[in-house]
Structure 1
Amino acid sequence: MTRYPFPDIEGLPEDLRAKILEVQEKSGFVPNVFLALARRPAEWRAFFAYHDALMMPETVGRESNLSKGDREMIVTTTSAANNCLYCVVAHGAILRIYEKKPLVADQVAVNYRKADITPRQRAMLDFAMKVCLHSDEVNDDDFTALHAHGFNDEDIWDIASITAFFGMSNRIASFSSMMPNPEFYLLGRVPRQK
């Protein structure tokens, strides 16, 4: 499953253990990233603090014009460009749930330009991919194009920061051979039974 063995949950510091058990209670399983990074508690805390600030800005008292689906779409698309199996599968599942579209994650992972997304989302992903692959080429024209779709400079910061953060995450998942939990593969593909 990974090049680095997962630590025993019972042996983790209380704050990590509590968060991991909270996630397990909510989702029904523990995503492997929580266990893989727990081998280094200080890094785990820093990683998830930044993750939450970017992906759940309301937890740090910040407003954002990016939806949860937009954020997951950025992660899925740029993670595919970085060949990160873990993040494409895990965040693709979350994307399907937030967007309520069972095909969208596969579409943006393979070719976001042909995906069933809005022109605004396409512009957002154009910029995210430029940050992902050619950040040294970002210029004022990129900001102008995003402003035309209603993004402000703080939104643009969010797009770039999410892309950059998950670029790091993609590399950790890849070198450590972190594999997606089997549960992620089916999430959001079939409507839940009532």
Structure 2
Amino acid sequence: MINGFKLHETAIAPAASAEILNCVQKAWGFVPNLHRVLAESPAALEAYSTLWGIAEKTSFTAQERHIAYLAIIYENECTYCMAGHTNLSRMAKVAPEAIAAVRESRPIADAKLEALRQFAAKVTRQRGAVSEADVEALKARGYDNRAVLDVLVLAATKLISNYTNHLAQTPNDSFMKGAEWTVPGKLKPAV
């Protein structure tokens, strides 16, 4: 890890973070390294945990949510989240071909999922400044304005995790074995 970040253990994390880490432990059976890094800031950990829960309430199916997450992660070049969400996508029964396509920035065979992948990627890459044609392309595949805004919820969730992992160089968790990812290398650190 870099920049002085550390992996907090629940027992010695700030009290407000320890409570959230305990909830994560109960829900997942372990505490992911991302959460252990975020524990440094109870506000950051709470924001991420809250957004994660809100993302589950979007209009998207689990499959759609994972495709959008993977597209956002691809654009943000987050190796930690790509490995984690690859395996979470597998657990959610996302088609292996669709996962591979997003990881490699290739079109998905399913036209509706491909429209979502493209839109989530453009929102992330262009920081929300997408065209009316981009919105219409998503809507033409059966989505609506709620879905357009729900992509922002997913992007906000991944902004916290992807940026945290860039700042801290968060090490992968053991459940990510076999899902490692090499970034395309478009992002360059600021100077």
Q: Which has the higher contact order (CA 8 A, sep 6+)?
A: 2
**Aligned equivalents of 1:52 and 1:182: distance in 2?**
23
| Aligned 8 A contact 1:16 1:41 in 2 | yes
- For residues 162-184 of structure 1, what are the alpha-carbon distances to aligned partners after superposition, in whole Å with 9 as ceiling and x for unaligned? 12441342122112111220212
- What amino acid is the match of 1:65? S
* Percent sequence identity over aligned pairs: 21
- For residues 114-153 of structure 1, what are the alpha-carbon distances to aligned partners after superposition, in whole Å with 9 as ceiling and x for unaligned? x4x4111100111111111124641222222222111110
Describe the shift of the 1:103–1:23 C-alpha distance in structure 2 as closer, same or farther (beyond 3 A).
farther
Please identify, of 162-171 and 118-127, the stretch whose mean Cα deviation from structure 2 is larger.
162-171
The residue that corresponds to 1:119 in the other structure is 111
The residue that corresponds to 1:153 in the other structure is 145
| Aligned 8 A contact 2:70 2:86 in 1 | yes
The residue that corresponds to 1:170 in the other structure is 162
**Aligned equivalents of 1:27 and 1:7: distance in 2?**
17
Query: Which aligned runs of 4 or more in structure 1 are off by greater than 6 angstroms?
Result: none
Tell me how far 1:110 sits from its aligned partner: 1.0
CA-atom RMSD in angstroms: 2.4
| Aligned 8 A contact 2:7 2:36 in 1 | yes
State the TM-score, normalized to the length of structure 2.
0.80
**Aligned equivalents of 2:27 and 2:159: distance in 1?**
26
Tell me how far 1:5 sits from its aligned partner: 1.4
Task: Give 1 or 2: higher helix fraction.
Answer: 1
**Aligned equivalents of 1:109 and 1:32: distance in 2?**
22
| Aligned 8 A contact 2:17 2:41 in 1 | no
The residue that corresponds to 1:140 in the other structure is 132
**Aligned equivalents of 1:145 and 1:39: distance in 2?**
41
Please identify, of 66-75 and 137-146, the stretch whose mean Cα deviation from structure 2 is larger.
137-146
Pair 1:97-2:91 in alignment? yes
Tell me how far 1:4 sits from its aligned partner: 1.1
**Aligned equivalents of 1:73 and 1:29: distance in 2?**
24
The residue that corresponds to 2:183 in the other structure is none
- From 170, 183, 188, the equivalent of 2:175 is 183
Please identify, of 22-31 and 72-81, the stretch whose mean Cα deviation from structure 2 is larger.
22-31
1:7 aligns to what SS in structure 2? coil
Consecutive unaligned residues in structure 2, runs of 5 or more: 180-191
1:65 aligns to what SS in structure 2? coil
- From 67, 75, 86, the equivalent of 1:81 is 75
Tell me how far 1:89 sits from its aligned partner: 0.6
